[in-house]
Amino acid sequence: MLNKKWKKFLLLSMAAVMLCGCQPTSTEDDDAANENPEATEQQTGLKQETETKAEPLYEFTDEAFLSMKGFIDYIPRVSLSGVKEDGQFFHLPNVEDYTVMQGGCTDGEYMYLILENNTLDLDMLFKVDMNTWEIVAQSEGLPLDHANGMGYNSKLDTLIVSHNTGAVNDISFVDPDTLKITDRKTLDFGIYGITYNEEKDWYAVGISGSSAFAILDSNFVELGYYEGNDIGLANQSINTDGKYIYVGNSGVGTNPGVEVVKIYDWTGEYKGIYRWDSVSEQEAMISCNGVNYVTFYTGNGGRVYKAELDLEALEK
């Protein structure tokens, strides 16, 4: 039989449980972990934090997001998939000493891709059927220097290649049928990439050595200049689907594995940012009939994937 002291203790304990609600009971393992956090760490391989820290909720469509510390870890990732019927990516293999994937674009039926010969500063241009993913033509070595970016002007039916390194102010015009250079032009400023919008009959160009881009008319006269967002990554490409301008940045050399695309409209307004699933160094983004593609240099030519961009999120 319980004495008065223990009866009082038991009644107080029951009252406390009723007031606070039922609490989960700890197991021997929980008790051991509480006494020795290293025990749980050894079991799970995860370090036990002594205090819970809330993850910062960044808004990736807000320009201020880009200046926050550690924002790169919170960029929405883009899912990549194969372009072929069997679900595989398209591989453009090395041809002799032409090994490095560079600029790319499309005319709506064919994709045009460049492999650079770093030793000779020559480039080989490939024409790829986007229905069968077969190479239907390839050029001889063309003097296009680094050939970092390429766009297609549908009104002139010509490919336009930005030379970038080697002749940073120069662009060359290439016939998409013969894959031969038809003309060359020197701009008043250096660019690393070029893209074209048929409806506006305007170009967007990425300004070399900066995060800036410019809008040019059909005669390459500047209509607008925008600073863009410098996030400490290397410039890779500039592309458009008519509605948006896409600026690709790469962490190669500084932040390996970080490959992003920043999105603007034609007034230069920042709309958002996405991060590609890590494959290797991105080279070009190519939009065609509502489908977005991204190309990567892999050390053995290059690859082409489909990119599942959630563009609706930019409008929220």
**Closest-CA residue to 280 (of 262, 266, 301, 310):** 301
Provide long-range contacts, Cβ within 8 A and 24+ apart, for 89-94.
Answer: 89/303, 89/304, 89/305, 90/128, 90/133, 90/303, 90/304, 91/301, 91/302, 91/303, 92/126, 92/128, 92/135, 92/301, 92/302, 92/303, 92/304, 93/300, 93/301, 94/300, 94/301
Overall number of domains in the chain: 1
In a domain, 9, yes or no: no
In a domain, residue 50? The reply is: no
Instruction: For 280-302, write each residue's pLDDT tens digit.
Output: 999 999 999 999 999 999 988 99
Residue 287 located in a structural domain: yes
Is 257 a domain residue?
A: yes
Kindly state the DSSP code that residue 60 receives in the 8-state scheme. T
**Inside any domain, residue 21:** no
43 found inside a domain: no
Question: Which residues, 6 or more positions from 165, have their beta carbon under 8 angstroms from its beta carbon?
Answer: 145, 146, 148
The predicted pLDDT at position 8 comes to 39
Question: Does the residue 251 lie in any domain?
Answer: yes
Residues (pLDDT < 70) of the chain are 1-57
Instruction: Please give the pLDDT value at position 65.
Output: 94
Domain enclosing residue 305, as ranges: 63-315
Evaluate whether residue 302 is within a structural domain. yes
Amino acid identity of residue 1, one-letter, is: M
Domain CATH code at residue 287: 2.120.10.30
